[in-house]
Amino acid sequence: MKEKGRFLKKYRGNECLNCSVPLDIIDRYCHNCGQINTTKKLSFKDFFNEFFASIFSYDSRLRHTIVGLLFRPGMISKDYIEGKRVKYANPFRFFLSVSILFFIISGLFIDFDSIIPQEKEQNNGLLEINLTNNEHKENDIINDSIAEPGVDKEDEYVYFTETQLDTMSMFTAVNKRWKTYKSHYKKTGEPMATIALDSLKHEQNTYTKYLYKRSIKTKNLNENPLELLKFVFNKLPFIIFFFLPFFALMMWLLYIRKPFNYMEHLVFIFHTQTMFFILIGIAILIDQITKSEAASSIAMLVFLFYLYKAMRKFYQQRRAKTIVKFLLVNVLFFILAGIGSIITIIGSMFIF
């Protein structure tokens, strides 16, 4: 790799600045602690050059990795697990780098407003109705509704006292408390949990405050699901990163007779998923230029063919077996993705 910045020989010292071990001018790094041998003060340019180099590996490894992914499906993974690793970027770090770029590109060009236009129109209509209803309810007094506790109809004010909630089972109490808080916010529009709980004469603790805030969020998300969609989308890089190890476990079970351990399957998964992001990312850019969605459709077909070739070369099985397992992998992937999506959406409701 070409030397530049703090790596130049003229900046090398006679001892390590970190551990004081004697060094020679030919020593690029300290042989004791591994720190770079340089006396040059850290500049703004050096800092960001090294930062981006550490993320994207701006050297020959990047070129070899991209070429290997594009033109040698499955073989780059095979080389890596067989020990030929110097010329390739770390598959895990490279996956993170590509996925971050992909979600930046897709975040810039995906039009969320066009995904659920009907819901948006319906929500605008509901908002107008709610505003009209609120105008008529401005003079209502909350205590008039509280005078009849236990009402549990969708269009009426719902209120359960602490005494009533204490007599219920745990799950029933949570459900009724949730409805009470949601109904109270719908009627009063009070966003502050402490004020709302005081009006309701409910106990104020971490649990009740949290539940009141969640009920508000849920109501707002029902009126504007686009916000939840954007929130989940922004978390997808991390969700996918933690999802892939489960997919690798599925591959390990599918190829249990093959002499691959779990980590070797994971290397293959990270390489193929990285290729998916590269293909779809390029397709999104092409679609933006051509003002169509043809490139994305073609990219999906290309990736499916790529995945088949990668499985065939990496696992070294006959064509018929590979096709059967290829179909199984896709079915299992969609099942696993569906379960993961449900868990993600439910989890997002509690952290959004």
The model's pLDDT over 126-137, given as tens digits with 9 standing for 90+, comes to 444 454 454 444
- Nearest residue to 96 (alpha-carbon basis) of 46, 47, 48, 57: 57
Residue 50 lies in a domain: no
pLDDT in tens, 234-288: 566 667 777 888 888 889 998 998 889 999 999 999 999 999 999 988 998 898 8
174 and 320 housed in the same domain: no
242 and 347 housed in the same domain: yes
Higher local confidence (pLDDT), 8 or 217: 8
Residue 233: pLDDT band by 50, 70, 90 thresholds? low
Number of domains in the chain: 3
What is the C-alpha separation between 179 and 169, in angstroms, rounded?
Answer: 15
pLDDT in tens, 177-225: 888 888 888 888 888 888 989 888 998 888 888 888 877 776 655 555 5
Residue 51 lies in a domain: no
Residue 6 lies in a domain: yes
Residue 102: pLDDT band by 50, 70, 90 thresholds? confident
Q: Which residues pair with 36 in a beta bridge?
A: 29
184 and 210 housed in the same domain: yes
pLDDT in tens, 160-190: 998 898 888 888 888 888 888 888 888 888 8
Last residue of a domain, one of 227, 249, 283: 227
What is the C-alpha separation between 199 and 208, in angstroms, rounded?
Answer: 13
96 and 20 housed in the same domain: no
The count of other CB atoms within 10 Å of the CB of residue 96 is 17
Residue 52 lies in a domain: no
CB neighbour burial string for 288-309, b if at least 16 within 10 angstroms, e if fewer: eeeeeeebeeebeeebeebbbb
Residue 308 lies in a domain: yes
245 and 339 housed in the same domain: yes
Residue 318 lies in a domain: yes
Last residue of a domain, one of 200, 227, 254: 227
Residue 146 lies in a domain: yes
Residue 343 lies in a domain: yes
129 and 242 housed in the same domain: yes
Asked whether residue 145 carries a pLDDT value surpassing 50, the answer given is no
How far does CA 113 lie from the centroid of its chain? Answer: 20
Last residue of a domain, one of 194, 227, 260: 227
323 and 249 housed in the same domain: yes
Q: Which domain holds residue 20?
A: 1-41
Residue 56: pLDDT band by 50, 70, 90 thresholds? low
DSSP per-residue string spanning 71-139: HSTTHHHHHHHTT--TTS--HHHHHHHHHHHHHHHHHHH--GGGTSHHHHHHHHHHHHHHHHHHHHHTT
